[in-house]
A = this chain, B = another copy of it.
Amino acid sequence: MAAQHHEPGSGRAPDGAAPPGDDARLSVVPPSGEPAERAAAQVADLTVPADHLQGLAGVGEGFKAAFARHPAGVAIITARGPEGPVGLTASSVSSVSVDPPILGFSLQARRGSAAVVAEADSFLVHLLDAENLGLASAFAVSGTPRFGDDMPWEYLPTGEPRLLAVGRVLRAVPLARIKAGPALVFNAAVVDVLGHEGSGSPLVYHQRRFHGLSDRSVLDDGT
């Protein structure tokens, strides 16, 4: 994948050097290295029993059609791999628990960037807004150039590559990697909030297209 062809030093910030100032503006919680390290040391590998489900192959087409029509928020998950920064677009990120702060997502982790994220001790979850459309596309399509000069980014002092155009960014460490068929379901503790506001117009993925929300898309005041 393109991200793995990244030359160290070709991005905007050198390894490990975060420009001062920017971080202080967005951080609402100072980096909490100790809980992060404790969490990373305890990641559990669990398995969902699924070997008995072969009889359900016929359900797949209807399942795919139903979920293609189910909208989702869009995130880019980045991690530092042995060959440089990697990232992938994910539409399965959700909040699992606020106290303690746990998020969940799933991915197919056999190769490429997903395999690097699956093995990482920590990663950044960037929650995308409409203005991040270009990033969403680049990190969704294998082979697209990433972490180039047109995508400002930096390594955090803690090691993860941060995409600076994204306003809502969470640093997380895996608590559990749960094997469910060919997928890995992650539960991860959020150890730092690097930004939580964003533009107010989030990106939505639906029927293989990206949508934006605005006041005009509101149906009701909700709950």
Contact = CB atoms under 8 A, between A and B. Distances in A.
A96 interface: yes
A171 to B, nearest CB: 9
B66 A97 contact: no
Given A63-B170, A71-B71, A104 B133 contact: no
Contact of A189 (B56, B73, B209, B216): B56
Contacts of A52: 35, 38-39, 42
Contacts of A213: 71, 204, 206, 211, 217
This chain's copy number in the assembly: 2
A92 B92 CA distance: 8
Contact of A69 (B65, B67, B198, B223): B198
Given A66-B193, A71-B204, A96-B180, A101 B48 contact: no
A3 interface: no
A99 B202 contact: no
Contact of A178 (B56, B91, B176): B176
A20 interface: no
